[in-house]
Copies of this chain bind each other. A is one copy, B any other.
Amino acid sequence: MANIHDIAKKAGVSATTVSRVLNNHKYVSDEKRRAVKNAIDELNYTPNRNAIDLIRGETKQIGVIIPYNNNQAFDQMLHGALNKSIEHGYSVLVLPTRYDAKKELEYLSMLQTKMLDAIIITSRSNVWGAITPFTTYGPIISCEYTDHAEIGCSYMDRYASYVDAFHLLKENGHEKVAFTTARGMESKSTIQTFTAYEDVFGKPPSEYVISSCYSLQDGYRAAQKLLQLKEKPTAIYANGDEVATGIYQYAVSLGMHIPNDLALLGQENQPMGVAFGISTVDHQLIKVGEQAFQLAIEKSKQKIKIPYQIIHRSSI
| Contacts from A to B (Cβ < 8 Å) | 1, 46-51, 53-54, 59, 61, 69-70, 75-76, 78-79, 82, 86, 91-96, 103, 109-110, 112-115, 137, 215-216, 242, 245-246, 249, 271-272, 274-276
Given known A-B contacts A54-B54, A113-B48, A274-B216, A78 and B82 have beta carbons under 8 A apart: no
Which residues of chain B have C-beta atoms less than 8 A from A46's C-beta?
109, 112-113
Q: How far is the CB of A247 from chain B (nearest CB, A)?
A: 11
Chain B, Cβ-Cβ closest to A113 = B49
Q: Does A79 contact B70, Cβ atoms closer than 8 Å?
A: yes
Q: Does B70 contact A113, Cβ atoms closer than 8 Å?
A: no
Which residues of chain B have C-beta atoms less than 8 A from A59's C-beta?
50
Q: How far is the CB of A292 from chain B (nearest CB, A)?
A: 15
Neighbour of A93 across the interface among B70, B75, B93, CB < 8 A: B93
Q: Does B49 contact A115, Cβ atoms closer than 8 Å?
A: yes
Neighbour of A114 across the interface among B50, B76, B114, B272, CB < 8 A: B50
Q: Does A47 contact B113, Cβ atoms closer than 8 Å?
A: yes
CA distance A82 to B97 in the complex (A): 11
Q: How far is the CB of A253 from chain B (nearest CB, A)?
A: 11
Which residues of chain B have C-beta atoms less than 8 A from A109's C-beta?
46
Which residues of chain B have C-beta atoms less than 8 A from A93's C-beta?
61, 91-94
8 contacts between A and B (CB under 8 A): A46-B113, A47-B113, A50-B54, A50-B114, A54-B54, A86-B96, A91-B94, A242-B271
Q: Does B61 contact A54, Cβ atoms closer than 8 Å?
A: no
CA distance A1 to B96 in the complex (A): 27
Which residues of chain B have C-beta atoms less than 8 A from A1's C-beta?
137
CA distance A216 to B110 in the complex (A): 39
Which residues of chain B have C-beta atoms less than 8 A from A47's C-beta?
113
CA distance A150 to B136 in the complex (A): 44
Neighbour of A82 across the interface among B94, B245, B246, CB < 8 A: B94
Q: Does B48 contact A114, Cβ atoms closer than 8 Å?
A: yes
Chain B, Cβ-Cβ closest to A248 = B275
Q: Which of A54, A59, A216, A242 has the most CB of B within 10 A?
A: A54
Which residues of chain B have C-beta atoms less than 8 A from A53's C-beta?
50
Q: Does B50 contact A69, Cβ atoms closer than 8 Å?
A: no
Q: How far is the CB of A28 from chain B (nearest CB, A)?
A: 22
Q: Which of A76, A109, A242, A274 has the most CB of B within 10 A?
A: A274
Q: How far is the CB of A213 from chain B (nearest CB, A)?
A: 14
CA distance A114 to B54 in the complex (A): 13
CA distance A46 to B109 in the complex (A): 8
CA distance A119 to B86 in the complex (A): 18
Chain B, Cβ-Cβ closest to A53 = B50
Q: Does B82 contact A75, Cβ atoms closer than 8 Å?
A: no
Q: Which 5 A-B pairs have the closest CB atoms?
A: A50-B54, A49-B113, A50-B53, A46-B112, A49-B115
Given known A-B contacts A75-B75, A94-B94, A51 and B54 have beta carbons under 8 A apart: yes
Q: Does A50 contact B115, Cβ atoms closer than 8 Å?
A: yes
Which residues of chain B have C-beta atoms less than 8 A from A54's C-beta?
48, 50-51, 54
Which residues of chain B have C-beta atoms less than 8 A from A242's C-beta?
271
